[in-house]
Each structure stands twice: as structure tokens, then as C-alpha cells.
Amino acid sequence: MVIIDLFLSRYVYFMIVVLLAIGLYGMLGKHNLMKKLIGMNIFQTAIFIFFIEGAAKRGGSVPVIDEILGMEAAQYVNPLPHVLILTGIVVAISLTGVALAFLLVIYRTYKTLDDRAIMANMKESAE
């Protein structure tokens, strides 16, 4: 019963661990560069969700000073993690766009996105 209560109270963190594992497997276990990129995006999303979940506060209010709540900082939600994650999302989208452009160039050059075939082709052309 204790394990079920623990899972139900922290289910978001278990789902984050599952997303991290899927993303890590996609980056390390796959040989297709597009699948590696998708795995990286899943991994980044799990990290974003982790930070946002950690920044949540029950009973917290938006960080605009209210006469009823007073000046006490504990009554308000800290906006900094949310702003940092917004910046991280912009960087992740930019990184994905550049990576897709590189994948397009790689595919046009080597006619494949398999990293083993690309490395073999690069070794042959170097000799």
C-alpha cells in the first residue's frame, strides 16, 4: 500500500524518468540520425517537465503583489524557472532546426542517415 501511495503522490516524476529513458535510448541505441534527433527532443522535453514540476507551488499566486497576500515571498510562485524553461524551449527549437538542416545536407551527400554507413563512407573517401 505504501508503494501505491508513493507512486500516486509522485507519478509525474515516474513519467519523467520514463521519458528520460526513452530519450536516452533514442540517442544512444538507434543508428538513424533522425531517430537520434527525436530521442534528443524527447530527452529535452523530459528535462523541461522536470523543472516546471519542481517549480510548482500549491496555493501560490502569480508574482504580482496583492494587498490580501502581502509582501511575503512564500505566498507567490517564483517565475524564474518558468522563464528559464521558456529560454530552453527556444534554444531547443533552434537546435532542432539547425540539426534538421544538417541532416538534409548529410542525406544529400551520403544518401543515407545511418551513422554506421556514413562513417564507413567517410573512411573510404579518406583513404
Instruction: Express each pLDDT in 42-56 by its tens digit.
Output: 999 999 999 988 887
Give the pTM. 0.84
CATH architecture of 2-57+67-126: Orthogonal Bundle (1.10)
Alpha helices in the chain (DSSP H): 2-9, 11-29, 33-55, 80-110, 115-126
19: pLDDT confidence band, cut at 50, 70 and 90? very high
Give CA separation, 16 vs 29, 79, 88, in Å: 19, 21, 17
Once rounded to an integer, what is the mean pLDDT over residues 11-23? 94
Q: Dihedrals φ, ψ of 8, to 5°?
A: -70, -30
pLDDT band at 79 (very low <50, low <70, confident <90, very high): confident
- Tell me the pLDDT band of 65, cut-offs 50, 70 and 90: confident
* C-alpha–C-alpha distance, residues 46 and 40, integer Å: 10
At 77 the pLDDT is 80
For the chain, which residues make up each domain, given as ranges?
A: 2-57+67-126
| Residue where the block lists cell 503522490 | 9
**Cross-strand partners of 70:** 66
Residue identified by cell 524557472 is 81
Q: Give me the helix-helix angle, 11-29 and 33-55, nearest 10°.
A: 160
